[in-house]
């Protein structure tokens, strides 16, 4: 068995998320089906760095899988890329140690969240950005973002019903970029891990701050409350992109 690590991109619009499920097309299912064909009909399981929800996109999701024979990396990449559907791209593949695990060895993840803030809603962004055509003071959002940095218990920003017990995470980067014509903003969050729907709740809360319905300095208090009801709403999935996954030094 040879272990392969692959960096993949996908347009989440027509997927019911990354993880295989009984009803609905998923990224895992499509890639596993392709690998099975490449493996003479024998099934192969893939492991992702984490799940993504329905409608959520990936620029740099990472997976690993074991293949019975060693094939040159570029041949494996090309085969998998061209045989998966067009809404999945295989950007790179490398052979790694069999101790590498796409999920357990994650060191940090970067997410981007794109919001269209100008009317009318662009037909080109309807699946690729959330839409917020309301008054927005971007300075207030800029002012609030640094309060997210560092190590905190992010219970207030975790969807209720999550079974994860330890909700302490460290955020290294929390930035916002504005495009040239000020029609779109993009949030960038980088951390050692994120809770279920955490980025979307962070964005929903930051937009509420920008809209003036929460004070610019309210994040520390919201974090301290450890209560999902203290934070803002969950932003729509179509704005979210898993941008990059970094790993500990390959074993």
Q: Which residues are annotated as a binding site for substrate?
A: 111
| Residue where the block lists tokens 């959520």 | 56
Residue 33 interacts with its own copies (CB under 8 A)?
Answer: no
Positions 109 through 168 that interact with its own copies (CB under 8 A): 120-124, 126, 128
CA proximity to 157, closest of 203, 198, 114: 198
Task: Give the residue numbers marked as catalytic.
Answer: 53
Mark the segment that binds its own copies (CB under 8 A) among 18-26, 88-96, 99-107, 146-154.
88-96
| Residue where the block lists tokens 């919201």 | 222
Nearer residue to its own copies within complex by CB, 113 or 196:
113
Strand-pair category, 57-67 with 46-48: antiparallel
Nearer residue to its own copies within complex by CB, 90 or 235:
90
Q: Minimum CB separation from its own copies for residue 83, in Å? A: 12
Dihedral (CA of 89, 95, 101, 106) sign: negative
Strand-pair category, 168-178 with 150-153: antiparallel
Kindly list the distances between the CA atom of residue 133 and the CA atoms of 32, 58, 141, in Å, as whole numbers in the listed order.
40, 25, 16
Residue 91 interacts with its own copies (CB under 8 A)?
Answer: yes
Q: Minimum CB separation from its own copies for residue 172, in Å? A: 23
Interacting residues toward its own copies by CB under 8 A: 9-11, 57, 77, 81, 86-91, 120-124, 126, 128
């Amino acid at each position: 068995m040879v272990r392969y690590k692959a960096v993949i991109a996908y347009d989440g619009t027509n997927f019911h998320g990354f993880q295989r499920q009984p009803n609905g097309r998923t990224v895992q299912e499509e890639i596993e089906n392709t690998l099975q064909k490449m493996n003479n009909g024998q099934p192969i399981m893939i492991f992702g760095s984490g799940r993504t929800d329905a409608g959520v996109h990936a620029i740099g999701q990472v997976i690993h899988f074991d293949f019975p024979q060693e094939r040159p990396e570029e041949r494996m990449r090309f085969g998998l890329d061209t045989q998966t559907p067009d809404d999945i791209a295989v950007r790179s593949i490398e052979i790694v140690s069999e101790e590498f695990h796409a999920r357990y060895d994650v060191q940090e993840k970067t997410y981007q969240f794109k919001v269209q803030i100008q009317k009318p809603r662009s037909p080109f962004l309807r699946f690729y950005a959330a839409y917020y055509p309301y008054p927005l003071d971007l300075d207030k959002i800029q002012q609030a973002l640094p309060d997210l940095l560092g190590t905190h218990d992010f219970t207030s920003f975790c969807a209720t019903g999550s079974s994860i017990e330890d909700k302490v995470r460290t955020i290294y980067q929390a930035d916002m970029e504005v495009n040239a014509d000020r029609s779109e903003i993009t949030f960038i969050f980088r951390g050692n891990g994120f809770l279920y729907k955490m980025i979307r709740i962070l964005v929903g809360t930051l937009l509420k701050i920008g809209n003036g319905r929460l004070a610019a300095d309210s994040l520390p208090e919201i974090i301290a409350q450890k209560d999902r009801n203290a934070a803002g709403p969950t932003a729509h999935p179509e704005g979210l992109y898993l941008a990059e996954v970094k790993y500990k030094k390959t074993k």
